Amino acid sequence: MTESAGTLTRADLAETMHRRMGLSRAESLELVGSLLTHMCEALSKGENVKVSGFGSFILRDKAERIGRNPKTGVEVPITSRRVLTFRASQLLKQRIGAAS
List beta partners, residue 94.
none
Structural domains in the chain (count): 2
Same-domain status, 25 and 54: no
> For position 81, which CATH number holds?
4.10.520.10
Same-domain status, 68 and 98: yes
E strands, the chain, are 49-51, 55-62, 65-68, 75-78, 81-88
Could you list the residue range(s) of the whole structural domain that residue 7 is in?
1-44
pLDDT for 97: 87
The predicted-structure confidence for 27-64, as pLDDT tens digits, reads as follows 999 999 999 999 999 999 999 999 999 999 999 999 99
CA distances from 73 to 66, 68, 77 (A): 12, 6, 13
Same-domain status, 29 and 3: yes
pTM attached to this predicted model = 0.74
The answer to whether the beta carbons of residues 28 and 21 sit under 8 Å apart is yes
The predicted-structure confidence for 56-90, as pLDDT tens digits, reads as follows 999 999 999 999 999 999 999 999 999 999 999 99
Same-domain status, 53 and 100: yes
Q: In what order do the strands lie in the sheet with 49-51?
A: 49-51, 55-62, 81-88
The answer to whether the beta carbons of residues 2 and 8 sit under 8 Å apart is no
